[in-house]
Chain A
């Protein structure tokens, strides 16, 4: 009887298998087809195409036109005219130079301060309240630039600003930090450094964390002076992470727009006008779309250049790792 039961069961089982067989084989056929990988990649490709490639090509196209949103005239193809004009514009070159200065000063200062702070926190692993101090230190980084811009405008304010209050007490003079031709640029650099030093501290701590403990102990036992310890033990392990942080910051600093726009709108005159600000004002205040697009294309090329450096450094690390 039991035997009969299992027989019936197995027959039923076979039937079930038959029923699922066609669906299974269809799936397998799809899986084995050469198109299958393409099918899997397709969604992200479509996304990429719609949101990245098409707008970029569109941008590139627009940069070859005279295209003003406020004008009744139809857009007109002018070839490289927009680029030629930018090339010949001393104002634009000035802006580019200013942006590079901003980038170098801001990233340089943030890196130096960040590394120093990182070393400080690294050396104070047993200090009470270290966690709290670290959390507080990282707040500028997570604040939106809009908030930072707004409250720094208040801090820098010549009449109500807290900074002026103290500056006045010490020197007896009143400073208009954001209105002064000489000071405005550096006031902005200071805010950017304040915002991004924590990021560099974080990268420094990550870099220091990647140094094997035994190597640090060996250096201590071998009585290496601290500069040699940094150079021969810490840097060989930490330099890639640090480099990555610097490059990310460089690309980011080049694009700085929101902070400047909120605090000075590029003024006084064009003393704080960076490429991002110029671009924004050309596009959305003057509605010179053709011109703005040409600027955007140039900005894109510069960003690509930085990204290439970044990728080169990453690859360099991988080839080194492979060789090892």
Chain B
């Protein structure tokens, strides 16, 4: 078990820059998810850490040891691939044992490790089956068991449940959770599926275009995206963005946009001008009738999503907004609605799409405490 540190890691494939000067620390005994859209470089980063790919420049350290020039076999890692990789023609038991045989372990210790992983992954029934008789989901479990039983310093998962059926997916996810809780090992888990990342990760490292753009605990990342990309990529659907004006008001600044009933006082450093307001669809409060702090808007479309929640498309003065509301609210809505954006839920971004130094000043106080109980429902 050791932390993984990468320094100035760059990898180019011809003209394509897969990794762009990445420096990052994967903390010891934690599950870090590398999350990002296809082609953002997350798999390349993992393969460089595994030693399956050599970086164009930069270094990789496991703890204090520099491993950049070491072969994968010298790095003491375990890896689970996207497609279940199993050794053919032998039983499940032999598959899990095979790497253990070349380590100098006592037979009792081997058996103990085998029993542990088999129990966690629920492989008891298939233990003596030939590997070719198994479906993809079970094969992937065998691959996981094989990687875990070796107890390497670091375990890498490369989108391990992308290619298995829905039922096995759920089962695998559950056993991963169980495994990570028991192992407390340094784990990197690559995925493009935010639900997976949200459920499994201690921390999520969000990647875009060969860079790690933000790394935080799942809820923190969800509630306080560092930039527009993070807000858009997480959540289903992603964050709403609309332009607003920062205007001078008295001695300070205020935020003005059609979705606000009156200009919102701001604290922090900033200049008057344009700013981007972000809010998650499930944080938008929608009323069927007039309410304080709410503005009138037109309801364009109403559809039902997972959990019978309503997904609304709302328009006010040409500005569009998506909102996600519980069934009890959604069912009662007519073509005219009243929309309220809770000030503690809005996030402001500057022209570069990064978090602005400004926050609505009414945030401090009681409202923050009341929202802490609200769970980000959009992650499922």
Kindly identify which residue among A217, A225, A236 contacts B72, using a CB–CB cutoff of 8 Å.
A217
A182 at interface, CB cutoff 8 A: no
Kindly identify which residue among B82, B83, B102, B132 contacts A324, using a CB–CB cutoff of 8 Å.
B132
Kindly identify which residue among B78, B82, B89 contacts A236, using a CB–CB cutoff of 8 Å.
B89
Which residues of chain A are near B71, meaning CB under 8 Å? 220
Contact A228 B102, beta carbon cutoff 8 Å: yes
Contact A221 B102, beta carbon cutoff 8 Å: no
**CA A218 – CA B98 in complex, angstroms?**
12
Which residues of chain B are near A228, meaning CB under 8 Å? 98, 102
**Mostly helix, strand, loop or mixed at chain A's interface?**
helix
A223 at interface, CB cutoff 8 A: yes
**CA A259 – CA B246 in complex, angstroms?**
93
For residue A223, which residue of chain B has the nearest CB? Answer: B73
B99 at interface, CB cutoff 8 A: yes
- Interface readout for B113-147 with A: 1 if CB under 8 Å, 0 if not? 00000000000000000001000000000010011
Which residues of chain B are near A220, meaning CB under 8 Å? 52, 71-73
B369 at interface, CB cutoff 8 A: no
**CA A228 – CA B146 in complex, angstroms?**
15
Chain B: interface residue total (CB-CB under 8 A): 25
Contact B81 A217, beta carbon cutoff 8 Å: yes
Contact A232 B77, beta carbon cutoff 8 Å: no
Given known pairs A228-B102, A324-B132, the reply for A221 and B90 (CB within 8 Å) is no
Interface residues of B in 31-64 (CB under 8 A from A): 50, 52
Contact B85 A215, beta carbon cutoff 8 Å: yes
For residue B84, which residue of chain A has the nearest CB? Answer: A214
A309 at interface, CB cutoff 8 A: no
- Measured CB to CB, the residues of B under 8 A from A are 50, 52, 71-73, 77-79, 81-83, 85, 87-90, 98-99, 102-103, 132, 143, 146-147, 150
Other than the given A212-B83, A222-B99, A236-B89, 6 more pairs (CB < 8 A) read: A214-B81, A217-B72, A221-B52, A221-B79, A223-B103, A323-B132
- Measured CB to CB, the residues of A under 8 A from B are 212, 214-215, 217-225, 228, 232-233, 236-237, 323-324
A sample of 23 cross-chain residue pairs with beta-carbon separation below 8 angstroms, ordered by A number, consists of: A212-B85, A217-B50, A217-B72, A217-B81, A217-B85, A218-B79, A218-B143, A219-B87, A220-B72, A220-B73, A221-B77, A221-B78, A222-B98, A222-B99, A224-B99, A224-B102, A232-B87, A232-B88, A232-B89, A232-B98, A236-B87, A323-B132, A324-B132
